[in-house]
Structure 1
Amino acid sequence: MTHFQKTAIIPRVISRILYLPIETIARELDANLLIAHEALKRGYIIVLGEKREVQRYARELGGGVYIYKHWEALFPYRFGDERRKHFFYAGSHQEGVVYIDDTFFLRRGIEQNKTHLLDVYFARGKAQEALLKRAYPLLESVVEVTGSPSFDILRDQYRTIFQERCELLSRTWSPFILVNTNFTAGNKTPHEVEDVLVEREKSSVKNLGRSLTENEKSFFLGLATYKERLFQEYVAMVRALSVRFSDTNIIVRPHPSENHLNWRRELHGLKNVRVIYSGNVIDWILASKAVIHTGCTTGIEAWAVGKPVLRYNPLGKSSEYESELPNKFGRYFATIPELEVAIKNIGADNKSTDSFVMQGDFLKPYMDSVSGELATVRELDSIERRGDIGPKLVYEDIVRNYRTFVRSLRIIIKRLAYALFRHPSITRFLLGRHEAALRASRLQKFPYLSRRYISRMLRKFEMIDSMKPRGLRFVRIDVNTYIMTVTDTV
């Protein structure tokens, strides 16, 4: 029995509950809102927000469906905990289809003695499914191919959700070239002051339950060196392009885990260059003239929405330290002069001339939802087919418990503290440099989740699906976490 079943209220609507934790707003929010939209149609209560807050409220509520990255430590309870039986755990690999190679994926992407204890593991494509089942037969019963909700929102039918933001970016920055980077290992955030192997060792023990092997230590040292070199090469490239295309803006969008301050220092003084990390990357891709990357999911996303994809890597066309799949899309350039010619020759409509049909066929085994049924629908169908998915709760009961004076006051105080600690100088003074850097890194990934944005996005999804407006009801239960339901379903 859950805590909130004790409340003496006659139930109006009894619903299953779905938890959608988020680590990085820019990368995960829109796809999770699409999942929420589909789940609301099916009558679920949704808890959506910052990952640590959602995990905490899942424990309070006592059960339900929890969709997140597959690591055991990220779910409300460990797999062997008695309280875990009240939850349905749905996991997937955190990097989707972009990982260095199969060996790396199997060694670092799976908890060998635990992943099969998930209720379902969502594979992105048939290639990933076959790899998992071949390597770990115990996963046979839990792996299911669904694709990814992150690719659902790239489809033509959902393109309008980006239109307003895309037009704003176009008015502000166009014409611009988007440079998307993924150099975290060589461009660390300020709080990562320890040796790279010490950091990796901590992560391995926490997520895999074991220490690094000697081969892994050697690999991670090489990875850090490689990414550091790429960082310097990209700095040089951006400087060159800023001169060559002085009438075009260059927007550098680093990975959320990179040190963005390093980029700003290196590119300071270049009038047509900005380092910006805000909003969904799809907004920026759609508004851009072209996308430059190497080894990033952005390469696939830019292809999917029809933008020219330019892969720049002077260190070589292939590398043991980069994912192969995203580098299959677009065109490769090893030198700055070659890249400059390609940019100069981009058509006035900023459309790619690559063979999308051919590359789409290539992508299908790795990302099954590039066509066919939406991954969002497949995931929820899979969950519901697999039987018991946790207790049913009453929205009014939950909200009544969270609308007490004490809880409301606590949220107000936490929001004030959250706003205060957004200022680095105040945080450094009160908590010290290390804690200030750590909090800045978290804010970089999760700045703020607004009620207005959630409401607008869910309304847009309703319009796209030609649905009449539903009675959307939702309440803030923490600084960045909301609980929501609808008064009627379709």
Structure 2
Amino acid sequence: MRGNRVNPNKPSLYLPCETRNREFEAKLLLACHAAERGWRGVVGAKKAIDQRIARLPRGLYISKSITRRNRFILDIGKRLGHIVTAWDEEGLVFASPEIYRTTKVGATTLTIPEKLFAWGEANATAWRNHPAFNGTPISITGNPRADLLRPELRDYFADEARSLRRHHGDFILINTNFSLVNHFLPGKSLYRQMLQAKKQPISQYGSINGLALHKVKLFQHFIEMAQAVAQRFPWHKLIIRPHPSENLDTWRGIMAGHSNVAIIYSGNVAAWLLATRALIHNGCTTGVESFLLERPAIAYQPVVSEDYDSQLPNTLSLRVSDLNTLYMHIDNLLQGNTSGQETLLKKCHAHACQHIASFDGKSACERILDSLEPTKSLLLDRKKPPLVDQIIGWTAAESRRLFKRTQLVRRTTTDSTGYQQHIFPAVSQSQVETYLQRFSTLLNRFHDLQVDDLGDCIFALSKQ
């Protein structure tokens, strides 16, 4: 599976990943499917791919989000002649369409992609109802992250899950989602700072101040709950897995007095969900992922808000509002009683399908590539953009690259080396080949693919 050269006549599909544990293996799966269909699938760290965008062969770029921050790089890509498309890694779970459009969708950014890929109808509707939506074609495909949780690929994580059970026993897992209250970079804990400073909400953000207050309240309740669960179940390990952008040291300080607690952020969360006896969360995507894996999850909701709660993951979980009920559910799950989860699977199947198009039927990878099939044949013959656009794009790309290099040593920015190493630890070619071998064994395909290491955690997959 190891290759030395890349065929320049294959159309390139660029799949940048911001968070390795969340995105990389799913996008590697999409790259495998793409390589089978004649693409050159390029997958790797978003920062590194974006830094090279002016030097990469023209291809099709799938952005991982459409926030205001991404507008600049998408505009550069388009000016350089890349076909720019997008999906939103965070388009599955949000508090309300209004808050989603305010916090996760940039008005100008939304107009740049030539095609959008939605998790499901709910995600697509949120885009269509944005005031800046200009009719960009939307393909409702699902996301490759959901493909990894389908029955045919569930054993992909089996070895890791067994290893976690051997190491931690029958452990309880708490997944937190408080990056805007407890960010890895203290200066990015925007909601907490806004409330501490007693700032009034900026008019364009509408109800964001209310969301901030709700998140801060939940954070305090989760601290109290984690300490109570650790004390109530002293003979069981309690693992707290913070959001990828959270500060682990905050949780280490909070839980320092409990010897049965570990704060761990490592590996794909699916392995942890398969290994744990009980997951506790609130409004976290892991509640949806547990549902897809047919594993039990508890949504702890000590405070409830119709406006600010992320409804989907809570709806797909066992919902509790007080500690005594929480203890009862944990006890049941530790004893292997999952009847409540089986009821949820039957009751919420149709609701899940509304949000995740690839829950049944064709996989997201197949749906995405079906949608791109007409584009593939046209990509290599696509005319170059006007020279003035190429010059503007190249100049902007190089200026951006040089600016980003100056940010590496600044500890307060998301471009800093420390933060980038936290959200995207290095991955080697041998690891990529191991992942590919797992896919090949489980699906009985991808046998004739080669992997090329392009450096800086970027890999190209193509058919030999």
Query: Where on the TM-score scale, by shorter chain, does this alignment land: which range?
Result: 0.7 to 0.9
Please tell me whether the aligned partners of residues 274 and 293 of structure 2 are also in contact (alpha carbons under 8 angstroms).
yes
2:429 to 444, 451, 458: 451
Shift of 1:137: 8.7
SS in 2 for 1:30: helix
Please tell me whether the aligned partners of residues 187 and 227 of structure 1 are also in contact (alpha carbons under 8 angstroms).
no
Tell whether 2:253 aligns with 1:275. no
1:70 to 50, 54, 66: 66
State how far apart, in whole Å, the 1-side matches of 2:432 and 2:13 are. 16
Please identify runs of 4+ aligned residues in structure 1 that moved more than 6 A.
10-13, 197-200
Tell whether 2:285 aligns with 1:297. yes
Q: How does 1:445-484 map to 2 (within 5 A)?
A: 445-467=423-445, 469-478=447-456, 480-484=457-461
Please tell me whether the aligned partners of residues 267 and 273 of structure 1 are also in contact (alpha carbons under 8 angstroms).
yes
Shift of 1:232: 2.1
Q: Which residue of 1 aligns with 2:393?
A: none
State how far apart, in whole Å, the 2-side matches of 1:80 and 1:432 are. 25
Q: How does 1:30-69 map to 2 (within 5 A)?
A: 30-68=25-63, 69=65
Read off the aligned partner of 2:282 and give its amino acid letter. T
Q: Which residue of 1 aligns with 2:185?
A: 190
Q: Which residue of 1 aligns with 2:213?
A: 225
State how far apart, in whole Å, the 1-side matches of 2:84 and 2:221 are. 42
Read off the aligned partner of 2:324 and give its amino acid letter. P
Please tell me whether the aligned partners of residues 248 and 263 of structure 2 are also in contact (alpha carbons under 8 angstroms).
yes
Shift of 1:225: 3.1
Q: Which residue of 1 aligns with 2:344?
A: 355
Most deviating of 103-112 and 44-53: 103-112
Q: Which residue of 2 aligns with 1:372?
A: 361
1:83 to 79, 85, 90: 79
Shift of 1:32: 0.6
State how far apart, in whole Å, the 2-side matches of 1:347 and 1:353 are. 16
State how far apart, in whole Å, the 2-side matches of 1:152 and 1:131 are. 23
Please tell me whether the aligned partners of residues 383 and 389 of structure 1 are also in contact (alpha carbons under 8 angstroms).
no
Number of corresponding residues: 429
Q: How does 1:313-462 map to 2 (within 5 A)?
A: 313-316=301-304, 318-346=305-333, 348-349=335-336, 351=338, 352-386=341-375, 390-391=379-380, 434=412, 438-462=416-440
Q: What CA deviation, in whole Å up to 9, does each residue of 1:240-277 have, x standing for no partner?
A: 11121111111100111111110010001311111100
Shift of 1:148: 1.3
Shift of 1:135: 4.6
Read off the aligned partner of 1:272 and give its amino acid letter. N
Q: Which residue of 1 aligns with 2:397?
A: none
Most deviating of 124-133 and 454-463: 124-133
Shift of 1:370: 0.8
State how far apart, in whole Å, the 2-side matches of 1:294 and 1:389 are. 45
Please tell me whether the aligned partners of residues 66 and 75 of structure 1 are also in contact (alpha carbons under 8 angstroms).
no
State how far apart, in whole Å, the 2-side matches of 1:138 and 1:242 are. 47
Please tell me whether the aligned partners of residues 72 and 78 of structure 1 are also in contact (alpha carbons under 8 angstroms).
no
Pair 1:332–1:111, CA change in 2 (3 A):
same
Pair 1:28–1:159, CA change in 2 (3 A):
same
Shift of 1:155: 0.4
Task: Give the TM-score normalised by structure 2.
Answer: 0.83
Shift of 1:224: 3.1
Pair 1:112–1:463, CA change in 2 (3 A):
same
Q: Which residue of 2 aligns with 1:179?
A: 174
Read off the aligned partner of 2:314 and give its amino acid letter. N
1:262 to 233, 241, 250: 250
Q: Which residue of 2 aligns with 1:415?
A: none
Q: What CA deviation, in whole Å up to 9, does each residue of 1:295-344 have, x standing for no partner?
A: 1111111111122111112122x342221111111221111111111111
Shift of 1:291: 0.7
Read off the aligned partner of 1:268 and give its amino acid letter. A
Pair 1:28–1:79, CA change in 2 (3 A):
same
Q: Which residue of 1 aligns with 2:300?
A: 312
Pair 1:48–1:128, CA change in 2 (3 A):
closer
Tell whether 2:4 aligns with 1:17. no
State how far apart, in whole Å, the 1-side matches of 2:444 and 2:410 are. 52
Pair 1:247–1:99, CA change in 2 (3 A):
same
State how far apart, in whole Å, the 2-side matches of 1:118 and 1:261 are. 38
Read off the aligned partner of 2:224 and give its amino acid letter. A
SS in 2 for 1:292: strand
Q: Over the residues paired in the alignment, what is the CA RMSD in angstroms?
A: 3.2
Read off the aligned partner of 1:469 and give its amino acid letter. H
Q: What CA deviation, in whole Å up to 9, does each residue of 1:410-438 have, x standing for no partner?
A: xxxxxxxx9xxxxxxxxxxx957647995
State how far apart, in whole Å, the 2-side matches of 1:235 and 1:444 are. 23
Identity %: 28
Shift of 1:120: 0.7
Structure 2 residue runs without a partner (length 5+) = 196-200, 383-404
